[in-house]
Amino acid sequence: MAQLRQSSKKSIRKPKTVLGIPGKWDSREALIGAIHSTNQGTFELQNGILKNLRTGDTYEVVIQDRNDGLRESFATAALFDEYRRVDDEFLDIIDQHTHITYVVGETGSFTTAGAIAAAAIAILNGGGVGVKVESSGIAFTRSEWEHLVERLHPENQYADNNVDLMAMFVHPAVNDGKQTTYSRGMHNLGMKDVMVQGLEFEGGAELAIEFNTFQVLDKPEFPDEGFIFELQLENSEESAFDMYAIHDQPHSGDELFENPYGLWRLSPTDEEAYDEEEEEFDDEEDPDEEATR
């Protein structure tokens, strides 16, 4: 007789995505009223729950009073991309905020990440001036967030939704100053982050970004127990990397930053051992070819 046995596979908790949206409102009542008046037929906010009237998706909303350190927090979080800069005018607007509205929801997939990204638009419509992804530590101006969400529209033939969502929810390269560079926020999309060890920041950042883009576009199934990942980099001479799935991570225990799916750790492969392995592979004869002799 067949017996049922409990699976040893650990369940993975759903990630919690938090979007912080500051604005200048006279009161909490005025904030709630503005959200109602600017989102009729699309979103409604009642008893701390923001509901998408088209899909039925709901999100917790927490409203907090002014935070004097928010300007600096946005300035730091907006520097995740070396090619973009946030000007003082935007930071001055952030500094004038009276309240911060936090939109909170479970994600862990591209679909749920896109849905909460759209929910943030309801707060922006009501007077929000920017978005900070608290669960990765990156920030956007209002117009940047609106532009990215617009690109997610299914009728936009030029959008690459998965890559756009990665840009919205993932810090591409955090560096600890000790030849370790890692991404932060892939859990918002339901994927492992990547940690690169043994490279200077430029090479580590390049590898982290290219690897995560490969993850997002190709959805490869890597073996957890080990793999060699190969990529020619512009900012490093290394091109082969030992790759393992790990759960120890820089933000272990942090509810917002910790990735429940774990990380991929990449480090340069031992060159001599790798060359020997390549030579052995090249020397192996094709069995079919041997059989035809």
CB atoms within 10 A of CB 30: 16
In whole angstroms, what is the distance from residue 133 CA to residue 165 CA? 12
CB atoms within 10 A of CB 25: 21
Ramachandran angles phi, psi of 172, nearest 5°: -70, -30
Helix or strand (DSSP H, E) at 118: helix 110-125
Instruction: Give yes or no for a contact between 149 and 121, defined as CB atoms under 8 angstroms apart.
Output: yes
For the chain, the helix, strand and coil percentages under 3-state DSSP, each to the nearest 5: 35, 25, 40
Q: Is the pLDDT of residue 276 over 80?
A: no
Q: Report the SS3 class of residue 205.
A: helix
pTM: 0.87
Which positions ≥6 away from 56 have C-beta within 8 Å?
none
The token duo for 272 is 């001599």
The token duo for 175 is 């560096």
For strands 263-268 and 193-197, give the pairing: parallel
Q: What is the pLDDT of residues 153-184, one digit of tens each?
A: 765 544 468 999 999 999 999 998 889 999 99
Phi-psi region for residue 108, left (φ > 0), alpha (ψ -120 to 50) or beta?
left
The token duo for 4 is 């049922």
Q: Report the SS3 class of residue 152.
A: coil
In whole angstroms, what is the distance from residue 38 CA to residue 125 CA? 6
Q: What is the pLDDT of residues 184-229, one digit of tens each?
A: 999 999 999 999 999 999 999 999 999 999 999 999 988 887 889 9
For strands 171-175 and 138-141, give the pairing: unpaired
Instruction: Give yes or no for a contact between 168 and 19, defined as CB atoms under 8 angstroms apart.
Output: no
Q: What is the pLDDT of residues 105-163, one digit of tens each?
A: 999 999 999 999 999 999 999 999 999 999 999 999 999 999 999 988 765 544 468 99
